[in-house]
Homo-oligomer: A and B are copies of this chain.
Amino acid sequence: MTEVVAVVSSDQWLASIAQDAESLDRSSTAERIADVLRRRITEGELPPGTRMSEASLGAALGVSRNTLREAFRLLAHEGLLVHQLHRGVFVPELSEAELRDLYQLRRTLECGVVRSLSAMDDERLQPLVADLDAARAAAGAGDWPGVGTANMRFHEHLVALAGNRRMDEIARRLLAELRLAFHVVASPRALHESYVARNRGLLELLRGGEFARAADDLDTYLHDSEAELLTAHRTRSTA
């Protein structure tokens, strides 16, 4: 019964997830299941390395294996699950190389979007302002995962300034994958605290229409963030 690996058949988790399954009622069953699992994964409740068993999870959610496999497939293509042939699906553990890849993609995408902006009005920046306020509120309450969530939203909305759905989708996946790495570091405070101020500076540059400088700032910003995360990742690996 007691196992070294965090297997999904923990009773309390299955019970709580069954509640989620009942609450939603729109779109297809597979997508609703995927929504439930996505939230559990990105919020760190299912840590990297967790194995998702078709049988026990399907029973807990009250859906058949076929439907559950549909949901698995959706999440696997978002990078939130990895699929190994004849072995099953797992919550992925990101390597250092993958972290570097994710950050390189972030820089290319986010800086590219910011640099190519031509005009800006306060209304379009409104979502970014809201995210910044949310981050500040969470920081004041000592809710560091909450700060991380708000920070991710800020960058999602930053990409959204391009008005390009495919870019939005890529950014959404990218940042969701990055959160997997956040959950394995020891101190989320050190990871997120300093970036609230930097986001504010970025927002001011955007409001002033200084897009080239904003892009340059963002580039160093992301390089710093990458270095910090890699350091945290290494100290955790040695521990």
Give the residues from 97 to 152 in chain A that come closer than 8 angstroms, CB to CB, to chain B. Answer: 101-102, 104-105, 107-109, 111-113, 116
Give the residues from 66 to 105 in chain A that come closer than 8 angstroms, CB to CB, to chain B. Answer: 66, 69-70, 73-74, 77, 85, 101-102, 104-105
Number of residues in A with C-beta < 8 Å to the partner? 28
A238 in contact (CB, < 8 A): no
Pairwise interchain contact B102-A108, C-beta atoms closer than 8 A = no
Complex Cα–Cα for A63 and B87 (A): 22
A36 in contact (CB, < 8 A): no
A170 in contact (CB, < 8 A): yes
Chain A 156-182, CB within 8 Å of chain B: the 1/0 string? 000000101111001000100000000
Complex Cα–Cα for A139 and B170 (A): 35
A27 in contact (CB, < 8 A): yes
A164 CB contact (under 8 Å) in B101, B116, B165 = B101
Pairwise interchain contact A165-B101, C-beta atoms closer than 8 A = yes
Determine the residue in chain B with the shortest Cβ distance to A110. B108
CB distance from A215 to the nearest CB of B (A): 11
